[in-house]
Structure 1
Amino acid sequence: MVKVRVLGAAERAVGTRHATGALDLARRLPRLAIEARRIAATAAHGIHGRRQAGSGEAFWQFRAFVPGEPAHRVDWRRSARDEERYYVREREWEAAHTVWLWIDRSPSMGYASALSQAPKIDRAIVLGLALADLLVRGGERVGHIGLTNPVASRSIVDRIAEALAADQTPPADLPTPLPLAPLTEAVLISDFLTPAGRVQDAIERMAARGAGGHLVMVLDPVEETFPFEGQAVLADVESSQTLRVGDAGAFGALVRQRLQAHRQALKDACARRGWTFAVHRTDRPASEALLSLAARIAERDAGMAGVRIGGGG
């Protein structure tokens, strides 16, 4: 039988009015922040420039000079090799845009099994902080919805960690669905074990003005596989309700079927707004989810740059 546990309120709470929760946070957050920085630094070596024209420092390519551009942009050494045209040295695009992060800290995120590397809440925090660090390294501005303003500070990990620690509001399973500005992006990290209709409504409201977004569904491997047999008692961590199951093996087939349908509903809700959806299991390295998420952000970033360039006429 696979052992499972659910972190108590003091362990799960990132910000709390209770002294026990604050002491537990003081022990956990520094470790999570260090792990996030390490993962971000490792991932940064595997991520190349975005290869879009702009004001970055790294060379991208030469292109033909366009009449009306400032003459100082001409690369005279390259142009000297061509008798018919002038050339401009283009650099990689590093114009900062805003990414809004949100990390779920609701009760269901405290779930952990013996098959996982970390509780869902710890993995969500590490992934969120690592992503913030990686994005800031790339020149982006990052903020946490409801907690911090977007900044492009190298101390972004500390800023968000401190804001999480100081937060006294009861944790919600979804962020406040306020419309985000056009050309911004939201990254929501949660188990999304809430009705798909509520998640879809949040996406629709946040994307109403054209903002992009990414959902990362963090699950414990036991939640996906439900490897139980015989009699079992299931407890809802969000309430005091319990369910006694006589045949856990047969019940598991129904659980897996419903989870698959729920995931498909979330994926469809994202697709309607051009958002992305991915599942990350806590028995896998956080770096896998970080690299995949960074690639999806960069891909949409490239598309938005094309919209801006094309719209500029």
Structure 2
Amino acid sequence: MLRTRVLSQTERQPARPVLTASLDLAARLPRLILEARRVSASVHGIHGRRRAGPGETFWQYRPLVAGESASRIDWRRSARDGHLFVREREWEASHTVWLWIDRSASMGFASSLALTSKIDRALVSGFALAETLVEGGERVGHLGLTRPLASRNIIELLAQAIVADRKSAEDDLPPAMPLPRLADAIIITDGLSPSASLAQRIGTLSSSGARGHILLIADPIEETFPFTGQAELFDLEDGLTLRVGDAGSWGEEYRQRLAAHREAIREACRKAGWTLTLHRTDRPASEGVLRVASLIAAARGASGF
């Protein structure tokens, strides 16, 4: 499928260098982090699995119980008020949630009908899902960038890793790596890479039995193609242009091809046992986040994990 956009004369420009894009992203991150926290706080109904046990991440202090070894006492905390406290760590299950956020050039698009660009919506959604899942007791990592983490600062850690990344910033597909059987994957993308390539990558990620969820981010203009008359289409990633004589007539064929492209992605998800959620950037971010979080919670409940 040709990844094209309809742009005005002032909007038309080649894809930005990765370094410049990273600097722009760094400047927007404080606002995106605040929005992600607001969205996460609005998501309810996720049943947590946070509990004490072996792990790496601090959870809480609790009073020492009679019969426990003195080696478990946190003496610094205990010295504050004369009572003995134990430093507990979080229980970490053998499965985790692996996040991947598409940051390729096509994700930078935002039409006049959208509330925000696709990349900003993808980052807000990914950060909000990460915080929601960590609060529910999960570990979350970004494919190719971080190990699974259960930190309360998960949003900042993910943001730092994304801004520092130069190698994979323009990739439009997640890394080709089979995930553990008990893992979940959340792939946030506009899905404008060839459907066969995306289907192959879904197959690789799920080859060991991992579950997965694709959050497909779309601009409303990409969905409706509401143009008539002369138009010029411009590919943000490859710099290709296409002049369309009658955009109204061409639009019908475009919508048919988009529907076929989406159906191919949906079929790949069905074969792997994954879910597909379409989210438009003229809708609140909380809708997509709540949908994916609910699907993960339902899958965990059904499997007993």
Deviates more, 1:164-173 or 1:226-235: 164-173
Scaled by the length of structure 2, the TM-score of the pair is 0.79
Which residue of 1 is the match for residue 32 of structure 2? 32
Cα shift at 1:9:
4.8
Code of the residue aligned with 1:137 in structure 2: it is E
Cα shift at 1:299:
1.1
Note the residue ranges of structure 1 that are not aligned, 5 or more in a row. Answer: 58-93, 309-313
Which residue of 1 is the match for residue 165 of structure 2? 167
Q: Is the 8 A contact 1:183 1:304 kept in 2?
A: no
* Greater relative contact order structure (CA < 8 Å, 6+ sep): 2
Q: Is the 8 A contact 2:99 2:187 kept in 1?
A: yes
Which SS does the other structure have where 1:113 is aligned? coil
Q: Is the 8 A contact 1:7 1:111 kept in 2?
A: no
C-alpha separation in 2, matches of 1:30 and 1:237: 26
Which residue of 1 is the match for residue 113 of structure 2? 115
Which residue of 1 is the match for residue 131 of structure 2? 133
Query: What are the superposed Cα offsets for residues 215-255 of structure 1, whole Å, 9 maximum, x if unpaired?
Result: 11101000000000001111111212111111000111111
Aligned length: 258
Identify which of 155, 158, 178 aligns with 1:157.
Answer: 155
C-alpha distance 244-40 of structure 1, shift in aligned 2 (>3 A): same
Instruction: Map 1:248-287 onto structure 2 (within 5 A).
Output: 248-287=247-286
C-alpha separation in 2, matches of 1:236 and 1:3: 10
Identical-pair percentage: 50
C-alpha distance 23-199 of structure 1, shift in aligned 2 (>3 A): closer
Code of the residue aligned with 2:105 in structure 1: it is P
C-alpha distance 246-7 of structure 1, shift in aligned 2 (>3 A): closer
C-alpha separation in 1, matches of 2:12 and 2:36: 23
Scaled by the length of structure 1, the TM-score of the pair is 0.77
Moved over 6 A (4+): none
Which SS does the other structure have where 1:112 is aligned? coil
Note the residue ranges of structure 2 that are not aligned, 5 or more in a row. Answer: 1-5, 53-90
C-alpha distance 159-95 of structure 1, shift in aligned 2 (>3 A): closer
CA RMSD of aligned residues (A): 2.1
Which residue of 2 is the match for residue 183 of structure 1? 182
Query: What are the superposed Cα offsets for residues 93-116 of structure 1, whole Å, 9 maximum, x if unpaired?
Result: x97430000000011111110000
Which residue of 2 is the match for residue 67 of structure 1? none
C-alpha separation in 2, matches of 1:252 and 1:278: 24
Code of the residue aligned with 1:47 in structure 2: it is G
Q: Is the 8 A contact 2:111 2:219 kept in 1?
A: yes
C-alpha separation in 2, matches of 1:9 and 1:239: 8
C-alpha separation in 1, matches of 2:303 and 2:154: 24
Which residue of 2 is the match for residue 90 of structure 1? none
Which residue of 1 is the match for residue 144 of structure 2? 146
Code of the residue aligned with 1:289 in structure 2: it is G
Q: Is the 8 A contact 1:183 1:212 kept in 2?
A: yes
Cα shift at 1:22:
4.6
Query: What are the superposed Cα offsets for residues 277-299 of structure 1, whole Å, 9 maximum, x if unpaired?
Result: 11100000000001011111111
C-alpha separation in 1, matches of 2:27 and 2:42: 24
Code of the residue aligned with 1:178 in structure 2: it is M
Q: Is the 8 A contact 2:212 2:274 kept in 1?
A: yes
